[in-house]
Amino acid sequence: MGKKRIIKKGEEGAAAEGSPAGGEKAEVKVSSKKIHEGRVYVCSSYNNTLMSLSDERGNVLAQISAGSLGFKGTKKSTPFAASKVADAISQIARDRGMERVAVLIKGVGSGRDSALRALGAKGFIVASIEDVTPVPHNGPRPRKVRRV
C-alpha cells in the first residue's frame, strides 16, 4: 500500500495548489487555434442522436449525444433532444471560431430534421447537406431453391 503522507502546517497551501484530488475536476485545455470551417456529423437512430464536430481533415474536435446531456430512455430519440444536442455542439463550434459547416446526416431517426434546423438557426453558414445513410445495394438474401 505504501507509505502514508502526513501534511505539515507549511505544506497545506502547496497541497491544495497541486493536482486535483479525488472529487475535483481538472480544467480541460482548449487549443487557441481558430478553425473557420468544419464538418458536423449527425447520426440519428431510433434510440439516440449523436453529433460529432470535426475539422476539414476529419479530426474529431467534440462529440455529444442526447444521453450525455441527461436525456434518458425514449426521450433520447425525440426531435427536442436532437435540437438540444445541436445547440450544445454549436456552442463548442462557436468557441472554436467556426463559421462555416458541412453537415453529413446518417440514420433514420426522428431527430434528423430538427438537428439540421437547430444548426441553421444558430447562425452557421451551412455549406452543404449530405445524406450518408448506408443503403444495401443488393437487397436481402434470396430464398433457398425449392426441391420437389
Q: Which of 43, 51, 64, 52 is nearest to 108 (CA)?
A: 43
- Give me the mean pLDDT over the 101-112 stretch: 93
Burial class from Cβ neighbours inside 10 Å (0-12, 13-18, 19+) for residue 50 reads buried
Dump pLDDT digits (tens) for 56-77.
998 999 999 999 999 999 999 9
The CATH architecture of the domain made up of 43-131 is 2-Layer Sandwich (3.30)
Instruction: Output 28 or 144, whichever has higher pLDDT.
Output: 144
User: Residue 40 corresponds to which cell in the numbers above?
Assistant: 458536423
Share of residues in the chain with pLDDT > 90 (%)? 64
Confidence class for position 135, pLDDT limits 50, 70, 90: confident
Pairwise CA distance, residues 99 & 61, whole Å? 15
What does the domain layout of the chain look like in residue ranges? 43-131
Amino acid at the residue 50? L
Q: What is the pLDDT of residues 10-39, one digit of tens each?
A: 655 554 554 445 444 445 455 557 888 999
pLDDT at 143: 92
